[in-house]
């Protein structure tokens, strides 16, 4: 009898596990990796859950309530979404008022609805994968001659350097080439968030995030791709969208 109970309990756990896995889908593995790498801590939020229902964020709603939102110790952008999970910088989260949290949540939910994470992943990783594949095929096609030059001749070293450079640039260039596209996605998510949340709350949340960052960017960051519109531009765009919303509702 005891064995039967244990078996039933195992079956229930298995079924529950399958149901939860169905919700996350195969791509949920990416958010799982993110959770482990960032040592993220889960928390529940009824207000965010209600917003997810209003915005019909199916990836979030499919997941169990205990594993939708996570806090991490440091997140430069304050908040980040990945497939079916939203991550908050713990310090930033504590600074947010309820309306600001909803506004930031609406912005992140728009990223999830539009699958920006998958699109960014593809645009960033496809070029280096293509370059690595071409190099691999060339090496395979010329394997006999490669054996004679690698690794003891200058030609072998030169070839290795060329391969390393090709992989490096194919990995770095997409970040710069897609910077404008990233900024457009951020603007789109800001404007869509205003449809579901308070525009002024989104602005005050952005100002709070700006205060968390160092005032003067260091020398190195000046050379990094600009993937977010300026704070001034975001405030301007959000106010235009909020005015339009209030005109339509009056």
Planar angle of CA 124, 216, 210, nearest 5 degrees: 70
CA distance 16 to 244: 45
Task: Give the DSSP letter of residue 216.
Answer: S
User: Which residue is at the shortest CB distance from Zn ion?
Assistant: 186
Tell me the closest approach of the beta carbon of residue 190 to Zn ion, in angstroms. Answer: 8
| Binding range to Zn ion, per CB under 5 A, among 43-51, 178-186, 199-207, 237-245 | 178-186
Tell me the closest approach of the beta carbon of residue 154 to Zn ion, in angstroms. Answer: 48
Give the residue with the Cβ less far from Zn ion, 78 or 128. Answer: 78
Instruction: Name the pairing type of β-strands 69-72 and 41-43.
Output: antiparallel
Tell me the closest approach of the beta carbon of residue 79 to Zn ion, in angstroms. Answer: 7
Neighbours of 3 (CB within 10 A): 7
CA distance 58 to 52: 8
Type and span of the H or E element at 76: none
Give the residue with the Cβ less far from Zn ion, 89 or 186. Answer: 186
Q: How many residues does the chain have?
A: 250
Decide if 87 contacts 36 (C-beta within 8 A): no
Tell me the closest approach of the beta carbon of residue 128 to Zn ion, in angstroms. Answer: 24
Q: What tokens were used for 243?
A: 């005015």
- Total residues contacting Zn ion (rule CB under 5 A)? 1
Tell me the closest approach of the beta carbon of residue 178 to Zn ion, in angstroms. Answer: 14
Residue numbers 179-198 binding Zn ion by CB under 5 A: 186
CA distance 122 to 118: 6
Give the residue with the Cβ less far from Zn ion, 118 or 139. Answer: 118
DSSP reduced 3-state for 227 = coil
Residue numbers 204-233 binding Zn ion by CB under 5 A: none
Give the residue with the Cβ less far from Zn ion, 100 or 186. Answer: 186
Tell me the closest approach of the beta carbon of residue 238 to Zn ion, in angstroms. Answer: 13
Give the residue with the Cβ less far from Zn ion, 40 or 159. Answer: 40
DSSP reduced 3-state for 42 = strand
Give the residue with the Cβ less far from Zn ion, 84 or 186. Answer: 186
Q: What tokens were used for 168?
A: 């490096």
Which residues sit at the interface with Zn ion, rule CB under 5 A?
186
């Amino acid at each position: 009898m005891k064995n039967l109970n244990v078996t039933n309990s195992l079956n229930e756990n298995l079924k529950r596990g399958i149901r939860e896995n169905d919700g996350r889908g195969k791509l949920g593995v990416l958010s799982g990796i993110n959770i482990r790498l960032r040592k993220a801590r889960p928390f529940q939020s009824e207000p965010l859950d209600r917003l997810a229902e209003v915005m019909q964020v199916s990836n979030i709603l499919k997941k169990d309530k205990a594993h939708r939102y996570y806090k991490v110790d440091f997140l430069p952008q304050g908040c980040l979404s990945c497939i079916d999970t939203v991550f908050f910088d713990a310090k930033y989260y504590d600074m947010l008022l309820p309306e600001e949290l909803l506004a930031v949540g609406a912005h992140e939910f728009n990223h999830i609805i539009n699958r920006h994470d998958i699109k960014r992943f593809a645009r960033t990783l496809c070029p280096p994968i293509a370059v690595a594949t071409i190099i691999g095929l060339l090496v395979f096609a010329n394997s006999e001659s490669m054996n004679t030059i690698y690794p003891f001749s200058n030609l072998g070293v030169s070839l290795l350097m060329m391969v390393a450079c090709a992989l490096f640039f194919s990995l770095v260039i997409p970040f710069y080439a897609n910077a404008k596209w990233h900024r457009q996605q951020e603007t789109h998510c800001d404007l869509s968030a205003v449809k579901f949340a308070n525009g002024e709350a989104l602005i005050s949340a952005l100002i709070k995030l700006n205060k968390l960052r160092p005032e003067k960017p260091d020398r190195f960051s000046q050379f990094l791709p600009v993937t977010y519109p300026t704070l001034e531009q975001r405030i301007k765009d959000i106010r235009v969208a909020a005015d339009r919303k209030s005109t339509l509702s009056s």
